[in-house]
Structure 1
Amino acid sequence: MSELSLSPNTSGWRSDPAVWPLVTAVIPTKDRPQLLARAVQSVIDQDYPADIECLVVYDGTEPVMPEVRLREGRTVQVLVNNRTPGLAGNRNTGYLAAAGELVGSCDDDDEWLPGKLRAQVELLREHPRASAAASGFLYHYRGKDIPRLAELPVLTFADLLNDRHLEANASTYLIPRAELLTEIGLVDEQLPGSYAEDYELLLRAARLGDIVCVKEPQSRVYLHDSSFFASRWQTISDALAYLLERVPEFRQDPAGLARIEGQIAFAHAALGRRMPAARWALRSLRKSRGARQSYAALVVATGLVSADRVLATARRFGRGI
């Protein structure tokens, strides 16, 4: 724990523009000390007029205080995941230990841009019934920043069913902690491999209230070939199947369901399972001809192009599968 003290603002921030709430940033990490220091420093350096608590949660490794430059009104504490091993348990350990009225997350290989918290708190003030805030982001791949603006100012539950809306991701969202621990609920620790755990969480948040979005990028999300889920295709397939079970409303949105089924098809194709890949892809395309993941799966299933090459090409244009 740093020696700087916290003095949280505990009342009236939604209605009083002179009051700024304490924010807790949770950074889950494992064996990436240099990247972690960059992420923590980006939290410390926020242009935010109140205190920020940064909780670094280690999963299965010895906790080490990152080497960062502290300033007044900022604290850094290291914790150890005391829940289910993996990303979901890591995040929940931090959320449960947080003192902030608002909690956010920053993956240890990402960073927050300086104006993130100020812009999102101001937006939540303008929309007191919102369940969370998100924002545009910079998609960084192989040395290049690709701006991804928030497509919509407000995301509803129906919007998130229909499309992934990547502006709502683990390194952009900001959520009132009281709602996270009650009506919304913690990150689902049963989700296989914690894949898409932020998407599943935000779907639940959107059931409670709309998610408001700062249009301009407020985070930088780094995609690289060593990213945690880069080639864990079986885990991805299992997690997406679990997601479809947990969110039956996907059946009411053919395009949204086709997108998820196309992703499952691509995972099977990446694993060399041509017949399951074709079945999932055709099932998807019967619902929506616009499911680009299904076309990619069929191409990979032919063996003419590898899944890694398709994924790398998509990332160069700021996209995923």
Structure 2
Amino acid sequence: MTPEFPPVSVIIATHDRPELLARAVAAVRDQDYPGTVQCVIVFDQAEPDSALADDDPRRPVTVIANDRTPGLAGARNAGAATASGDLLAFCDDDDAWLPEKLRLQAERLAATGADVVVSGIHVSYGDKVITRVPRPEDVTHAELLRRRVMEAHPSTVVVRRTAFLGKIGPVDEEIPGSYGEDYDWMLRAAAAGPIAVVAEPLVTVLWGRTSHFNRKWRTISDALQYLLRKHPGFADDPRGLARVQGQIAFAHAALGERGEARSWALRALRGSWRERRAYLALLVSLRVLSADRVLRLAHATGRGI
């Protein structure tokens, strides 16, 4: 069967990173996708650059301001509300797509009937490039509770518009600072139905230094605690719960809040003695290691804390 190539709207939320944005937009417009690809650039807490707009019938560019909650969640929902495509896709402004991304993912959606499809990534950190590719069994609801599955990156997501507005729902704008909004959305997507996978790296992700959340530890702690309250399934997976508790412990350790760090670390270790983030949090709280050094080492392997 010849797959259909319905119109796609690609939402890029951005804030004061014009050079990276230009690279991301160019990669979207250079897709070898046979159908129409609309690029919706959402300026979040920044003045929109109307010069980027383009009425090209095959590769139009729409420029808007985020008129919803400030942050990634509101910006992505603002873009989705403006989008005209039957499929919605998301791309961070510091990432770049390979030319075949949308075509391969649309073909996989047509072949599987799924509502959501992801792909693998090339992680670029300094002079290193690490390739990470998810498998279909990695993006089940149970597996996503156990581990974040960073290779199923938000810049790889393509979703049917009807599912995004319907059974999955838009991005949660109540999450503190929009941290982890992509993870929350993936958990909901996996609970709503199977997620398809193109088992190839189709996105280059610029890792670590450009992250909006790099070292915003208070926001990270608040958001992770919000996710634990929102998703009761963590209580049924001790390893998954311990992972998030270990992340919270590390955030408090990085903030210099030694008592809170140790309390969360002990909770994590009661659930899983193998939870390495808890041990790292304890070492940082004791000042044996610095949080920045641990973070640099994690990023060098294409991972986060």
Conservation of the 8 A alpha-carbon contact between 1:37 and 1:66? no
Identity %, equivalent residues: 50
Give the Cα–Cα distance (whole angstroms) in 2 for the partners of residues 66 and 136 of structure 1.
32
Give the Cα–Cα distance (whole angstroms) in 2 for the partners of residues 302 and 169 of structure 1.
33
The 5 A counterparts of 1:112-151 are: 112-128=97-113, 130-151=114-135
Give the Cα–Cα distance (whole angstroms) in 2 for the partners of residues 226 and 18 of structure 1.
37
**Structure 2 residue aligned with 1:166:** 150
Paired amino acid for 1:177: R
Per-residue CA distance 1:134-170 (angstroms, 9 max, x = gap): 1110111113211111144562111111111112222
When the two structures are aligned, how many residues end up with a matched partner?
305
The reply on whether 1:307 has 2:291 as its aligned counterpart is yes
- State the secondary structure of the residue aligned to 2:41: strand
**Structure 1 residue aligned with 2:68:** 83
**Structure 2 residue aligned with 1:12:** none
Conservation of the 8 A alpha-carbon contact between 2:94 and 2:210? no
Change in 2 beyond 3 A, CA 1:146/1:69? farther
- State the secondary structure of the residue aligned to 2:60: strand
- Match among 62, 83, 100 for residue 85 of structure 2: 100
- State the secondary structure of the residue aligned to 2:152: coil
Per-residue CA distance 1:200-252 (angstroms, 9 max, x = gap): 01111111101111111111111142421011000000000000011001100
Give the Cα–Cα distance (whole angstroms) in 1 for the partners of residues 209 and 9 of structure 2.
29
Q: CA deviation at 1:121?
A: 1.1
Give the Cα–Cα distance (whole angstroms) in 2 for the partners of residues 214 and 153 of structure 1.
12
The reply on whether 1:213 has 2:197 as its aligned counterpart is yes
Change in 2 beyond 3 A, CA 1:307/1:66? farther
Q: TM-score, normalised by structure 2?
A: 0.96
Conservation of the 8 A alpha-carbon contact between 2:207 and 2:302? no
The reply on whether 1:40 has 2:40 as its aligned counterpart is no
Change in 2 beyond 3 A, CA 1:184/1:69? closer
RMSD: 1.7
Change in 2 beyond 3 A, CA 1:212/1:231? same
Give the Cα–Cα distance (whole angstroms) in 2 for the partners of residues 107 and 66 of structure 1.
20
- Match among 172, 176, 184 for residue 192 of structure 1: 176
Conservation of the 8 A alpha-carbon contact between 2:253 and 2:261? yes
Q: CA deviation at 1:67?
A: 5.8
Q: CA deviation at 1:19?
A: 2.5
Paired amino acid for 2:293: R
Per-residue CA distance 1:31-77 (angstroms, 9 max, x = gap): 11111000000100111111100000011211114669997611111
Paired amino acid for 1:83: R
- State the secondary structure of the residue aligned to 1:25: strand
Conservation of the 8 A alpha-carbon contact between 1:29 and 1:108? yes
Change in 2 beyond 3 A, CA 1:70/1:47? farther
The 5 A counterparts of 1:192-271 are: 192-271=176-255
The reply on whether 1:73 has 2:54 as its aligned counterpart is no
Paired amino acid for 1:145: V
Give the Cα–Cα distance (whole angstroms) in 2 for the partners of residues 68 and 102 of structure 1.
20
Paired amino acid for 1:102: L
165-174 or 255-264, which deviates more = 165-174
Structure whose residues are more often helix by fraction: 2
Give the Cα–Cα distance (whole angstroms) in 2 for the partners of residues 106 and 164 of structure 1.
18
227-236 or 141-150, which deviates more = 141-150
47-56 or 147-156, which deviates more = 147-156
Conservation of the 8 A alpha-carbon contact between 1:59 and 1:85? yes
**Structure 2 residue aligned with 1:63:** 48
Structure 2 runs not aligned, ≥5 long: none
Change in 2 beyond 3 A, CA 1:24/1:81? same
Change in 2 beyond 3 A, CA 1:18/1:252? closer
Q: TM-score, normalised by structure 1?
A: 0.91
Paired amino acid for 1:53: Q
Change in 2 beyond 3 A, CA 1:22/1:281? same
